[in-house]
Amino acid sequence: MMKNKFTTLLLFSVSVFSCNTQTTNSENPAVQSSENTSKLEYLKSIKKIDVHMHIRSDQQYLTDFMDEWNFKFNTVCIPSSNPKTLQAQIDTAISLYQTKPRYYAWITGVDMTNFTEPGWTEAAIAKLKVDFGQGAVGVKVVKSVGMSIKKPNGEYLQLDDPIFTPIFEFIAQEGKTLLVHAGEPIHAWMPTYFTKEGVGRNYWATHPDYSFWDKPELPSYSDIMAARDHVIERHPNLRFVGAHLGSMEFDVDEIITRLERYPNFAVELGGRTRYFMWQARGKVIDFFTRYQDRIMYGTDKGSGTTMTAEEKESTSNGIRYRNDLFLKYYTTSDDIPWGNVIASDRPRPNSTYTVKGIDLPKEILDKFFYKNAVKWFPGID
C-alpha cells in the first residue's frame, strides 16, 4: 500500500517534471506569469458553483459577484436549536431558487428538535419530501449530531444512530445527496493557547465552547469520524459528501483512506483551502490528480438575515478576497500569502509566509469548480 502510494507520487513527479521540460518557457518568469494569468482568466470565465454557502437574505453584492466571476451559489440550510430559524432559511432558499434559478440552488436541513418523540423519523421524512418537491438537491446534517445533542440516556447522539437509518434510505431512494458536517478540525481536541499579549492565537482559545481539549467526557474526534464512516458504509447507494473536507482537512491521506474505501463518498472544501496550503505541495497535487472526480469547491460564506451597510461591505470584500486568493492558489504557481494554520490564522494580505500555488490543469479545474457539483448534487444546475 505504502509502496503503491510512493510509486504513484514518484510517477506523478516525473510526469510533472517532463511537462516542465517540454514547456521551454517554464524557466522564464515573465512567460510563466502570463501563463498563470491566462489560466486564471480561463477559470474566471468558466461556469462555477460554490456548493457551500449560507444565504439568509438576498443581497445585491452576491449577484454582482456571481455575475462578475460567473459563479452560482448553493445555499445550505442549517438546523439550530430553534426550528423557526431553519424554516426561515428554507423559505429564503426556496424563494431565491424560484426567482433567481441562474444564481441559486439549495440544500435543506433536518430539524432535530423533539427527535426523541415517537413519529419523529416519519415526520422528518415527510418534511424532506416537501423540500425535495421545492427543488432541494440534498440534505445537510450538522455537527451538533455527534458533538452536542444528547439522548435521554445521556449518550451523545451519533450519525450512525438507528433513528437516522430510514431518513438516509429515503434520501438515497429519492436520488438526493447527504451533506454532513461531522465534528470539527482535529485541532479542536488539541490544546488552545494565547500569546503573551493575551491574543487568542487559536480559534478554540477564543471560542472555548467549541473546544474539546481536556474534556474527556465529550466524544472524541475518532468516535465522530467512525460514526460517519459507518453511515457511508451502510448506505452504498447514498451519495455522501463530507463538508469541510470531511473534517479531515489536516491530512489528505485521511481523506484518501475514505475515498478508496467508499465509492459513494466525496468531499467539498467548505473554506478549508488553507489546510492544503499547509501540506506538502506535491502531495496535494497528487490528491487532486487522483481524486479529481470527487472534490468540490465551497467557501462557507454568504449573507445574514439582516445586514448593516458595513456588514454588507465587509462580507462582500471577504467573499472577493477569499475567492481571489484561492482561485490563484489552485490555478497558478504564484506565491500566495497565508496564515499560520496551527494557530488557525486566516490567510493575510501582508503575511510573511507564502506558499506556491498548485497550478491545476484546466480539466481538473473544470471538475473541481463545476462538473463534480453537477455530478454529486444532481439538479444543482
- Which residues are near Zn ion by CB under 5 A? 300
Residue 145 CB, nearest approach to Zn ion (Å): 15
Residue 378 CB, nearest approach to Zn ion (Å): 21
User: Which residue, 269 or 284, has its beta carbon nearer to Zn ion?
Assistant: 269
User: Which residue, 111 or 300, has its beta carbon nearer to Zn ion?
Assistant: 300
Which residue number is nearest to Zn ion in terms of Cβ? Answer: 300
Q: State how far the Cα of 367 lies from the Cα of 349, in Å rounded to an integer.
A: 28
Beta bridge partners of 335: 356
Residue 347 CB, nearest approach to Zn ion (Å): 18
Q: Give me 302's grid cell.
A: 454568504
User: Which residue, 50 or 300, has its beta carbon nearer to Zn ion?
Assistant: 300
Shortest CA distance to 157 belongs to which of 216, 224, 211? 224
Q: State how far the Cα of 80 lies from the Cα of 91, in Å rounded to an integer.
A: 15
Cell 465509492 found at: 263
Please, what is the angle between helix 29-45 and helix 309-331, to 10°? Answer: 130
Please answer whether residues 72 and 50 qualify as being in contact, where contact means their C-beta atoms are separated by less than 8 angstroms.
yes
Residue 356 CB, nearest approach to Zn ion (Å): 28
Q: State how far the Cα of 49 lies from the Cα of 381, in Å rounded to an integer.
A: 9
Beta bridge partners of 303: 55
User: Which residue, 129 or 207, has its beta carbon nearer to Zn ion?
Assistant: 207
User: Which residue, 89 or 211, has its beta carbon nearer to Zn ion?
Assistant: 89
Cell 510517477 found at: 11
User: Which residue, 160 or 300, has its beta carbon nearer to Zn ion?
Assistant: 300
Residue 204 CB, nearest approach to Zn ion (Å): 17
Beta bridge partners of 268: 296
Question: What's at 127, amino acid-wise?
Answer: K
Residue 247 CB, nearest approach to Zn ion (Å): 12
Q: State how far the Cα of 303 lies from the Cα of 56, in Å rounded to an integer.
A: 5
Residue 361 CB, nearest approach to Zn ion (Å): 29
Residue 54 CB, nearest approach to Zn ion (Å): 6
% helix, strand, coil for the chain, step of 5:
50, 15, 35
Contacts for 22 with CB less than 8 Å, ≥ 6 apart? none
User: Which residue, 299 or 333, has its beta carbon nearer to Zn ion?
Assistant: 299
User: Which residue, 249 or 300, has its beta carbon nearer to Zn ion?
Assistant: 300
Task: Report CA Rg, the chain.
Answer: 21
Contacts for 335 with CB less than 8 Å, ≥ 6 apart? 354, 355, 356, 357
